[in-house]
Structure formats: C-alpha cells, structure tokens
Amino acid sequence: MKPSLLYTFFILFLIQTAFAQNIRGKIIDSNTGESIPYANIRVNESENLVSNGEGYFTLSENNSRDETVLTVSYLGFVNQQLSVAQLKKLDFTIKLLAGIYELSDVAVSNIKPNPYEIMANVKANLSQNYTTGEKGSKEMFFFRKSNYFNPSIIDIEINKSTGFSKQALSKVNNDLQSFSTKLISRPPVSFTDVLCNYYSVKTKKADKFVFRSKLDVLKATILKNAGESISIDDLEKTAEKLMLQHLDTTKYYRIKSGLIGSRDTISLRKDFNNKKTSKDKEEKNQLTAAKINLNSFMNENNFLKNKRFDFIQNPKLYDYAYEGTTYTNQNEFAYVLSFKPRKSKAMYVGKLYISETDYAVLRADYVLDEGEKVSNFNMKFLLGIKVSENVSKGTIIYKKRAEDDNYYMQYAATESGNYFYLNRPLKLIELAKGEKDVLALDFKMEANMRNKTEFLNMSRTEISQSAIEKIKEEDFKYINIKSYDPKIWKDYNAIEPLQEMKQFKAVN
C-alpha cells in the first residue's frame, strides 16, 4: 500500500510541477517568418503584455493554464484570439496574418492623402488627445532599465604629493591602475526590473490643476556584478576612496581642476561620512527615486510635452511621405507616414501610425538621422572636455482611454547614449591654514554610456480620489540576483528579457 501511495504522490507532484511553469511564446509574421516585436498580448481581457524586441513573451504561472485566453494584435495584422491549450499545439508560436481590406471598407480614390494635411490635424489635436484625465486611476507598470558603461581609455596617475610617502605613492598609483584596467576589461552593466501599482489623480485647487501620484512596488530586482556601479558619480567616489585611503583620514580635502574649483568637501573621517550618508537617506530613498524615474520617463515620452518629438509637434521641420493605410487592433484604420529632416534643426527619421478618426499618433518609431546629435559640447583643446548625446531612438505606443477617449502610453522602448572625453589635471588640497597637503594628478577618460528603458502599462482601472488618499506608500528593497531566472516572476506577467540579459552572469 505504501509504495502505491508514494508513486501516486510522485505522479501528482510531477503533474503540478509541469502545470506550474511559465509559458514562453513567440509571435511571427505568417508570410515572412520574421519575429514581430512589440505586439500586444491581451490576457483574459484584463492584463496587457507585449512581445520583446525579439518577438518573445512570457506568461505568469497563473496565466499558463490551458483555459487562459490570449488576444494578440499588431498594427497591420489581423487580431488573433487563442487559448494557452491552442498555443501549446502551435508549438508556442503565433503566426499573425497581414490585414486584407475589402474594397467596400476603403474609400477608392486615385488621390493619395496629403501627409502635410494629416500632420496639421495631428498638431491641432495634440492637446485634446494627450492631456492627462481628471479621473483617478490605478495602473500596473513593469519598468526595466539597462545601463552600460564602456570606457576605452582611463589613465589616472598621481604626479605630486606632499601627503604621501614614496611607498604609499607607488601603492596608490598601482591601485588606480588596477581600477582602470578592471573597468576597461569588464565594462560595468546593470539591469533593473520594477513591477508596481501606480495611483494617480489630477484635482483642481484654486483654479489650478494639481497632479498627485502614489507608488506601491510589488517586486524589484537588480542584476549586476557585486559592488559595481556604472554611475559616473559612484565611479568618481571609488577613485577618491582609493586616493584618500593613503592620506590622513582625520583631514578634509577640496578638489580643484585647472582654474575650476570645487566646493565639494571629501574626507574619510567616520563622523563626516556617517553624517553625509544619513542626510542622503533622508532626502532620497528607493521609493522616492523609483517614483521620480517613472514620472520623468512618462513626461519625457509624452508627445504633447517633450520638444524632442518635434516630428509631431513641429511638422514644418520635416518631410513626410504617405506610406499607406493599415488596420489597428481596434478595427479602425491608421495612416502610415515616414519622415526625415527637411531643415537643419530636425534630427530624426522614422515612421508614424496615425488614427484616421481623431488624428492621434498611435505609434512612433524614431532614430537619430545619420551624423546627427541631440547635443554636443566640444572644448577638447581648450578645457579638455568633450560631451555629446549621440544615441536617441525609440518605439512608443499609445492607447485610447475608455473613460474619456484621450490617450495614455501603453508601451515604450527607448535608448539614449553619450560619448564623453575628459583630460584634465586635478588637485586635492587640504582645507587648513598654513602648510597644506596637496595631491596633484593627471586624469584622462574616454567612454560611451548607454541607457535602455522599457515601460509597459499592463492594466488600467478607475479609482476614486478618496481611495488614492488612503494608499500608504512604503519604501522597498531591490532583490539582488546573480542571473536572470524566470521563476522570480512566476506570480506576475513581465516583459521577456532579451538574450543579452539572459546571458549575463554576475561575478562577485
């Protein structure tokens, strides 16, 4: 009897394990076989997912049951609805069919729509289509940031010191060289994922609208090498500590670069650093930082607010070409326009998908035109500084709100990048009267930094202002992980990571 019971329990355990697994699928074009990135996957008509840049998506364990219903849509393709059971039979691959239009559905004319008239209507309707609604809302966001720091040159050498012995000077130069070599041979990378509920409402007080938001973080992870940071400020602090550990830890120092002085005071005194750390914690905890990042990202990618979207706000700067009409997932038509710079102020090339009914931009794909830069500061020969923002691209998708027909950002994938060069003499001067310790060094660095951000609005429901006021915000801690594991998100839907994140393994 016992062997039979054990055998039964073992079989049940295997069955449960088999069912309690995240489902991973892929969306492709049925004609070409190419993957379709950024396709929308509606799960049980309650939550939104999106395929990643490689066409893959992942369902949570709760949504991996056979009866779960998926509705897949993408501009220009026929919507497809299927169950998870059907997805399994299709070998986890969904093939979307290109939309075919009946002549009765489309106005037959030899005259193509004028793209400049379309853009004039887009501009005229911007404030109406992208204004924040006054009704309170609860939204579930998934937010991923990927940061990369790639230095090609890092040279730091102390050439003068009144505070070091010869032995200590040799030691600190060796430490700085090791620090530089490590950064170049293993460029820092980090991946941060945040899943949260975001509550917001716009109220009117004294004839002015006040926007309020609250954040409830459900889970947050960070994947990077232990003790590593790609922040320039943090890298600078690491270099400072390497130098200061060989100086008198009871003294204070100030940094000076050429003719430029600094008011920043640095020291290794415990009371000084404890006081500073305490202040930093009061001013900015994890929740505050996450909320600032989210609000900034949403503002930066609002077609109405950010001047970067001049290809939407200021059509006079660009040339537009009518590419045709496509079908939307709301069974409506959308104009497809490509754009490129006409005047010198214009910087981007790309494509817009515009609603035929209210002229809202449903989707924008943009990238810097060849040779263009968002900003450029070049004082390389005079000050030894050169900085330029040479990467700026993205895909942004907006969806209509049910309550007022305005639009909200459903998905965004953006990337920005900077090149910088710094070649300057630096001095650490003791803050004291009379004779002072002086540390003089040459500092040279050349590097590229990139930041990728993915944002997904997974669900959106109305909520009252009074309910929002009752929400209590609590700080959270990131879960440090050494490699990506889908089990971390088994209870939630999340954006399927790209291969670069899956292949990354943290080194202690």
pLDDT of residue 432: 78
Does residue 501 sit within a domain? no
Residue with tokens 């093939």: 95
Ranges of the chain with pLDDT below 70: 1-21, 100-110, 163-164, 226-249, 257-284, 331, 508
Q: Tens digit of pLDDT for each residue in 322-379?
A: 998 888 877 678 999 999 999 999 999 999 999 999 999 999 999 999 999 998 888 8
Distances (CA, A) of 465 to 199, 202, 363, 403, 471: 9, 9, 31, 16, 10
Q: Tell me if 146 is assigned to some domain.
A: yes
**Distance, CA of 425 to CA of 237 (rounded, Å):** 17
State which residues form the domain around 139: 131-308+374-470
H-state helical runs in 145-284: 166-185, 232-244, 270-283
Q: Quick check: 250 and 437 in contact, CB under 8 A? A: no
Asked whether residue 359 is assigned to any structural domain, the reply reads no
pLDDT of residue 107: 47
Q: What pLDDT was estimated at residue 348?
A: 97
Alpha-carbon distance of 421 to 380, in angstroms, equals 8
In a domain, 404, yes or no: yes
- Asked if the structure places residue 151 within a domain, the reply is yes
Q: For residue 316, tell me if it sits in a domain.
A: no
Strand pairing partners for 367?
349, 393
User: Residue 487 and residue 485: Cα distance in Å, rounded?
Assistant: 5
Contacts for 182 with CB less than 8 Å, ≥ 6 apart: none
Total count of domains within the chain: 1
The pLDDT of residue 164 is: 67
What is the model's pLDDT at position 365?
A: 96
Identify the H or E element spanning 391: strand 385-400
Q: Quote the pLDDT of residue 425.
A: 79
Residue 328 is assigned to a structural domain of this protein = no
The pLDDT of residue 270: 54
**Position 383 in a domain:** yes
